[in-house]
Chains A and B, each alone.
Chain A
Amino acid sequence: MLNSPAILTLMQVFDFCENHAQKKVITLCHNVSRHATSEEQFNNQVLPVLQWIFPKIVVERYGSDQKTSEQVAQIVLNIINSMNNFFSPTKDNEKYVLKFETVMNTGLTETICSCLSDYAVTSNSNKISHAEDEDEPMESFKIETGAASGTQDLKYTEQTISAMLQILCQGCRFSHLLIAQMLHGNVLRIITNLLPEDSQSQNLPAYINDLISLLNLVLP
């Protein structure tokens, strides 16, 4: 499947397909995403898929919805993990790091960071409005709609955020350039915003383990 021109053709006609067909194409990419077995195959067959698909992680861009975004995040993670099929960080660490940095510098890091930032802002404003609602018990008799209660729908699911954090974890495990980018680009602040606060007294989110792993990797 990887070596056939099918994926290339599907990528070209993707924009002309209806939503249902587009979702099928994404599923197809999901199935082939983790099967690169050599560097040549990765460069020629998989990397174009990655470059084509990762902008679709942003909801409302190219018609992506929450579910598509979750699937795309998983595809990107699979593709990055597939590098372990033919590169070994223990055998040739420098080459592995270089390849990883090349992949991340295609704009993937910036896209992920903007998504995380977007999520952090929306979820924090929702928590604040939720806390305000709890402070005013009489107000809860009102008929609540999304707009009336001041809450917004979250664009990304916790699973999407979890996959994004795992992608960053993979990078921070080996590349100091990515860590520098995170420290100087305010990404650490965004990540900290995703952690729950005492005053909000909410359940821990599903991505908490990945978040903690990422923080552990970023600190010396």
Chain B
Amino acid sequence: MQKMIFFAPRQVFASSEDPTSHFQLMKRAIEELEGQKRELYSGMSTQFFEFLASTLLPKLFYSYRENVGQAFREKCISIIDKVLAVLPDAVAIEKIDPVSLAQLVNQILATGTGQQVLIALQIASRTLRSNALKFVIPFQREGASQVIMDFTDSERAGLAAKFDKEEI
């Protein structure tokens, strides 16, 4: 008995670079949503930002310290970074406790994963840029500056060793 084999037409997926592909459509939608969110935040009052700095941030610091799950911690730091990004400089200077922020950055640098360290460095650079005078001393006292220096030293040493090997 002869068997009939039917072939279905091959499904063709649009490449990710194609502007009509699902990936590009989704990317555009997300970018649009992020833009709309930024617009929303730009219209918020100072009281709202003060609330973020004085109430939400300390609670996030505490949640980060209390939970040891890496995915949770990564999300927590990411939120802290987002909050610091939307805060106006004046509110950040007035309302953020520099010691607890320096302790958090130090803790992340000491125990965090690569991604967490990256976000912690971003947080450090963001706060130091907004007001170096207020944040530098707590960062030095808590040891965060030293850890960052050690990072850069070890990175330099690694690069030097790499160049030596290539020369050999």
Q: Which A residues are closer than 8 A to B by beta carbons?
A: 88-91, 93, 174, 176, 179-180, 183, 189, 192, 195-198, 204, 208-209, 212-213, 215-216, 218-220
CB distance from A192 to the nearest CB of B (A): 5
Q: List 6 A-B contacts (CB under 8 A).
A: A91-B22, A183-B41, A198-B59, A213-B75, A216-B82, A220-B40
Judge if B118 is at the interface, Cβ distance under 8 Å: no
| Cβ contact within 8 Å between A90 and B51 | no
Is B152 in contact with chain A by the CB < 8 A criterion? no
User: Of A89, A204, A216, which is within 8 A of B75 by CB?
Assistant: A216
CB closest residue in chain A, given B57: A192
Within 24-80 of B, Cβ neighbours of A (below 8 Å) are at 25-26, 29, 33-34, 36-38, 40-41, 44, 48, 51, 55-56, 58-63, 66-67, 72, 75-76, 78-79
Collect the chain A residues with CB atoms within 8 Å of residue B48's CB.
Answer: 183
Given contacts A195-B59, A212-B76, A216-B82, 20 further A-B contacts (CB under 8 A): A90-B23, A90-B25, A93-B26, A174-B29, A176-B36, A176-B40, A179-B36, A183-B40, A183-B41, A192-B59, A195-B63, A196-B62, A198-B61, A204-B67, A212-B79, A216-B78, A216-B79, A219-B37, A220-B37, A220-B86
Residue in contact with B55 in the complex, picked from A89, A192, A209, CB distance below 8 Å = A192
Tally chain B residues at the interface, Cβ within 8 Å: 34
Interface residue? B83 (CB, 8 A) = yes
Known: A91-B22, A189-B51, A219-B82. Contact between A212 and B59, CB under 8 A? no
A176 to B29, CA, bound (A): 11
Q: Is the CB of B26 within 8 A of A90?
A: yes
Contact with A along B7-20 (1 / 0, CB 8 A): 00000000000000
Q: Which residues of A contact B29 (CB under 8 A)?
A: 89, 93, 174
Contacts A192-B59, A220-B82 given; indicate if A208 touches B72 (C-beta within 8 A).
Answer: yes
In the complex where A192-B59, A212-B63 touch, is A180 in contact with B40 (Cβ < 8 A)?
A: yes
Residues of B within 8 A of A174 (CB): 29, 33
Q: Report B-chain residues with C-beta under 8 Å of the C-beta of A90.
A: 22-23, 25-26
Q: Which 3 A-B pairs have the closest CB atoms?
A: A220-B37, A176-B36, A219-B82
B63/A208 in contact, CB under 8 A: yes
Residues of A within 8 A of B83 (CB): 219
